[in-house]
Amino acid sequence: MAAPKVAVLFGFGINCDHETAAVFNLVGGDAERVHVNNFILGNRSLDDFEILAVPGGFSFGDHLGSGRLLGNRMRFALREQLHAFVAAGKPIIGICNGFQVLVKTGLLPGPNAQTPLPDFVQRASLTLNDSGRYEDRWVTLEFDANSPCIWTKGIQRIDCPVRHGEGKFVMPSTTDFDALAANNQLTARYVDPSKPIGQGMTDKPLPFPLSPNGSMRNIAGICDATGLVFGLMPHPEAVYAKWLHPDHTRKSAPGPPTSDVLGEWEGEGLQIFRNAVEYVLGNR
């Protein structure tokens, strides 16, 4: 079966495009870095791809708010293409700046479970960390096992780095959160690694640096109501191999004992990308 074609956006200050393409390729995807303007100008069509990734970076320098200017370009120029992409059941991931872009275009969290397809209305935001600082540090995440998110199936907990200055997830009211929670869309949360695996998730704000940014309800990532569109601030692609985990010289880097691509060295982050590739193959 042909490998699922993955469009990895780049240009205008996106800067995790190389590694994001690489991790899809490691798990059987056929990833291509495509400049945003190639879609906007119609040189290329999103229809030709089965997965879309919006990688991390500093699109337009994050001036006027992270992800906003790239989000605007996509919201105004790619509205129909993006709507059709989700309607066709194709997965989208936004990582870090990509998550910010998806939130500012309104793709995340999206409307509601009854009318799940994109309406491009912004309902949430990612704002400056409470610390006021951009930081690169490792965090521990847990995932909602009941989430419709196709990206996180079967994953309980991973360690990976956050690298952002604007990762605090906010929504205007608690009812907004409750609605998302009811639909299990609060997919990824920062957790205290000393808690037993599977018991880390809590709505009560965790102290810095367990929660690196003061995110409401410790939210690290959310999905839309279809479960196809997923965004998160931390970088799972940055721990595709155990040798990238800070504990690897301590011989205690977590991850699967074996894998077909990296032997005993596969890192915890790779499964997220494998899930999407397998989802596409399973739904052909």
Partner 1 sequence: MTITRVEVTPKQGEGMRDVRGDVVRRQLMSDHNIKVEEVRSINGFLINSELEKTEIAERVNDLFSDPIIENTLTDTLFLSSTEHFPNTPAAAITIGFKPGVTDNPGSAAYDGFKTIFPHHEHRNVASISTYHTYVFFGLPDGVSTEWLASTLHNNLIQRAVTADAAACSNGEWPAIDYPEKPPQTLTPPQRMDLEIPDEELISLSESGLLALNLEEMQTIQSHYRDETVRQERTAVGIIPDAPTDVELECLAQTWSEHCKHKIFASKIHHIDTETGEDTIIDSIFKTHIMKPTHDLQKEVDWLLSVFHDNSGVIAWNEDWSVCMKAETHNSPSALDPYGGAMTGIVGVNRDILGTGLGARPIANTDVFCFGPPDWEGELPDNLFHPSRVFRGVHAGVRVGGNESGIPTVNGAIVFDDRYIGKPLVYCGTIGIMPRKLPDGRESHIKTPTAGDIVYMVGGRVGYDGIHGATFSSLELTEESPSSAVQIGDPITQKKMVDMVLEARDAGLISCITDNGAGGLSSSIGEMATYTDGCEIDLAKVPLKQAGLSAWEILVSESQERMTISVKPEDCAAFDAMAQLHEVEATPVATFTNTGMFHVKYGEDTVAYLSIDFLHDGVPQLQLESEWRTPTPELFTPEAIPLSEQAGHSPLLLRMLARPNIASKESWVRQYDHEVIAQTVVKPFVGVERDGPGDAGVIAPIHGDPHGLVISCGIAPRYSDLDAGAMAAASIDEAVRNAVCAGINVDKMAGLDNFCWPDSIESVKTPDGKFKLAQLVRANRELERVCRAYKLPCVSGKDSMKNDYGTGEKKISIPPTLLYSVFGDQPDVRFTATSDFKNAGEKVYLVGISKEELGASEIAFMLRDSGEATGIGGQVPLLPNPEINITTYRALSTAIQAGLIRTAHDCSEGGIAVAAAEMCIGGRLGAGIDIDGTGDASVWSRLWGESLGRFLVGVQPEDEADFIEWMAGHPITMLGTVTDSENLTVSDGYDVLIDVDTAAMVEAWQHTLDMTGGVA
Stretch that binds partner 1, among 46-54, 108-116, 126-134, 184-192 (CB under 8 A): 126-134
Q: How buried is 154 (Cβ within 10 angstroms: 0-12 exposed, 13-18 middle, 19+ buried)?
A: exposed
Residues within window 166-195 making contact with partner 1, judged by CB under 8 A: 170-172
Q: Does 69 bind partner 1 (CB under 8 A)?
A: yes
DSSP labels, 224-242 = -TTS-EEEESS-GGGGSBG
Q: Give the type of residue at 133.
A: R
Q: Does 197 bind partner 1 (CB under 8 A)?
A: no
Q: Identify the CA nearest to 49 among candidates 37, 31, 76, 75.
A: 31
Binding residue for partner 1, selected from 135, 192, 203, 278, defined by CB under 8 A: 135
Cα–Cα–Cα angle for 58, 227, 3, rounded to 5 degrees: 75
Residue 272: strand, helix, or coil: helix
Name the residue with tokens 């604007």: 166
| Nearest distance, CB of residue 61 and partner 1, angstroms | 4
Stretch that binds partner 1, among 123-131, 143-151, 186-194, 222-230 (CB under 8 A): 123-131
Q: Does 11 bind partner 1 (CB under 8 A)?
A: yes
Site string for partner 1, 198-217 (x = CB under 8 A): ----------x-----x-x-
Residues within window 19-48 making contact with partner 1, judged by CB under 8 A: 19, 22-23, 26, 35, 37-38, 41, 43
Radius of gyration of the chain (CA): 17
Q: Does 273 bind partner 1 (CB under 8 A)?
A: no
Q: Report, as residue numbers or ranges, the catalytic residues.
A: 96, 235, 237
> Is the distance from CB of 8 to CB of 33 less than 8 angstroms?
yes
Q: How buried is 209 (Cβ within 10 angstroms: 0-12 exposed, 13-18 middle, 19+ buried)?
A: middle
**What is the chain's length?**
284
| Nearest distance, CB of residue 145 and partner 1, angstroms | 27
| Nearest distance, CB of residue 88 and partner 1, angstroms | 26
Binding residue for partner 1, selected from 131, 210, 254, 256, defined by CB under 8 A: 131
Q: How buried is 248 (Cβ within 10 angstroms: 0-12 exposed, 13-18 middle, 19+ buried)?
A: middle
CA atoms within 13 A on the CB side of 248: 15
Q: Does 127 bind partner 1 (CB under 8 A)?
A: yes
Q: Does 57 bind partner 1 (CB under 8 A)?
A: yes
> Is the distance from CB of 212 to CB of 165 less than 8 angstroms?
no
Q: Alpha carbon 225 to chain centroid distance?
A: 15
| Nearest distance, CB of residue 36 and partner 1, angstroms | 10
Compare residues 71 and 221 and give the one whose CB is closer to partner 1: 71
Compare residues 73 and 90 and give the one whose CB is closer to partner 1: 73
Binding residue for partner 1, selected from 5, 79, 83, 123, defined by CB under 8 A: 123
Site string for partner 1, 72-111 (x = CB under 8 A): xx--x---------------------------x-------
Q: Does 122 bind partner 1 (CB under 8 A)?
A: yes
